[in-house]
Amino acid sequence: MKVKPVLVQTDAPKIEFIDLVAQRRRLGDRIDAAIRRVVEHGRFILGPEVAELERALERFSGAAHVLTCSNGTDALMLCLRARGIGAGDAVLMPSFTFAATAEVVCHAGATPIFVDVLPESFNMDPASLASGVQSARQLGLKPAAVIVVDLFGQPADYAALAPVIEAHKLWLIADAAQSFGASFRGTKVGRLGAVTATSFYPAKPLGCYGDGGALFTEDAEFAALLASLRLHGTGSDKYDHARVGMNARLDTIQAAVLLEKLRIFADELEARQRIATRYNELLEGAVQVPRLIPGATSVWAQYTIVTQQRDHVAAYLKDAGIPTAIHYPKPLHRQTAYLAYPTAGNGLPVSDRLAAEVLSLPMHPYLDEAAQDRIAGAVRDALGR
Ligand SMILES: Cc1ncc(COP(=O)(O)O)c(C=O)c1O
């Protein structure tokens, strides 16, 4: 039987899952002025703001080379293209991630191999990665690369994964679409993989007003290759394309938006951490609350709880006017497009369970305590705890 929420307050302010309007109240005028400057100078493609943003992202992350691009998916695609990954190669990745991580591998002609995640961090399980490498070999594929995803904003345990990655000489792509701004053991995201890809999709902690992405690497030669591929494979002669490339540039207008948002990003990250800590205090004991692994900071792209009564809690919150989201209701190895691709070991039980039990609650830097109390109160009421 459906329990009616006791918390419906028709006069209470609306709760947004991610409140971009609140951010605009703080920053809107500066962003509008920045967009206007681009409109007036008219250098819409690779204008000065693009290079300015790339230098600012290098300073922020500590990475030697940053290259912006069209979105997080193309960022991953550029990595695979630059490395020449293709037919006969296996690319290992978690099943509990967004489809973009896998689709690029298929487009490159390589085979994604899905591995399991850990139940507390939701990030890649080193033992399952090792087993995925064996699966690749049994299938006659060359284990060429691993895409490690920093799910919900927290870096994976790169230290625990390193022995497997090194033993099998896997090329490490960090899919930091959700984690730009976080760090692991004092190293900022952008320097945790051989190459790091991120997304500036509007709902990301650092999001633009459309699509956007960036790549981070320490390797100057590799950065030059990425820059060429981003621009149709151009070489030193403008009319002699050196390689088959892509059109994967970031628009100047988006760079201008990001430059303004980057100025307040550190402050927003502090707010996200404060809100996550408070959620944990309010919800501890009622559900599995998200935990940071030792040495990690998170940008809290999502605040995700785990409960066996997930569907009931989601319905109860909906009735109470509180939006929630499920990331992800189906792990990739269960999705129609990816059913035919191999998995590590004998199935991925943690990914399967999490898909049935995770629930993301409203999370953004402008979530006030009254709204948070309503959300946490509703979760507890739904569970009778
Ligand atoms: C883990 C992960 N990888 C890749 C992407 C792709 O980013 P984009 O939407 O910018 O193409 C996303 C975006 O949601 C993501 O969450």
pLDDT digits (tens, 9 = 90+) for 44-53: 999 999 999 9
What is the CA(73)–ligand 1 centre distance, in A? 6
Ligand 1 atom having least distance to the Cα of 100: 4
What is the CA(237)–ligand 1 centre distance, in A? 33
Residue 9: count of CB within 10 angstroms of its CB: 10
Per-residue pLDDT for 169 more than 90?
Answer: yes
How far apart, in whole angstroms, are the C-alpha atoms of residue 139 and residue 21?
50
What is the CA(74)–ligand 1 centre distance, in A? 9
What is the CA(201)–ligand 1 centre distance, in A? 8
How far apart, in whole angstroms, are the C-alpha atoms of residue 9 and residue 28?
30
Which residue CA neighbors atom 7 of ligand 1 most closely? 72
Per-residue pLDDT for 2 more than 50?
Answer: no
Write out pLDDT tens, residues 52-68: 999 999 999 999 999 99
Ligand 1 atom having least distance to the Cα of 213: 10
What integer is the mean pLDDT of 194-216? Answer: 98
From 98, 117, 150, the mutation candidate for ligand 1 (largest count of ligand atoms within 8 A of CB) is: 98
The three-state secondary structure class of 311 is: helix
What is the CA(56)–ligand 1 centre distance, in A? 22
From 73, 95, 189, the mutation candidate for ligand 1 (largest count of ligand atoms within 8 A of CB) is: 73
What is the CA(307)–ligand 1 centre distance, in A? 25
Which residue CA neighbors atom 13 of ligand 1 most closely? 177
The three-state secondary structure class of 141 is: coil
Write out pLDDT tens, residues 313-349: 999 999 999 999 999 999 999 999 999 999 999 899 9
Ligand 1 atom having least distance to the Cα of 150: 1
* Nearest CA-CA partner of 318 in 275, 265, 382: 382
Those residues with Cβ within 8 angstroms of residue 218's Cβ, 6 or more apart along the chain or in another chain: 63, 64, 65, 191
Residues with CB under 6 Å of ligand 1 are 71-73, 97-98, 100-101, 149, 175, 177-178, 199, 201, 211, 213
Per-residue pLDDT for 9 more than 90?
Answer: no
How far apart, in whole angstroms, are the C-alpha atoms of residue 270 and residue 278?
12
Indicate the pairing of strand 183-184 with strand 187-188: antiparallel
What is the CA(166)–ligand 1 centre distance, in A? 26
What is the CA(96)–ligand 1 centre distance, in A? 13
The three-state secondary structure class of 310 is: helix
Ligand 1 atom having least distance to the Cα of 97: 1
Give the pLDDT confidence score for residue 238 in this predicted structure.
81
Write out pLDDT tens, residues 207-245: 999 999 999 999 999 999 999 999 999 998 888 999 999
How far CA 314 is from CA of 14, 29, 59, 127, in Å, comes to 17, 36, 40, 32
How is the beta sheet containing 183-184 ordered, strand by strand? Answer: 187-188, 183-184, 296-297
Per-residue pLDDT for 10 more than 80?
Answer: no
From 201, 246, 332, the mutation candidate for ligand 1 (largest count of ligand atoms within 8 A of CB) is: 201
Q: What is the largest CA-CA distance in the chain?
A: 71
Per-residue pLDDT for 369 more than 60?
Answer: yes
Write out pLDDT tens, residues 279-315: 999 999 999 999 999 999 999 999 999 999 999 999 9
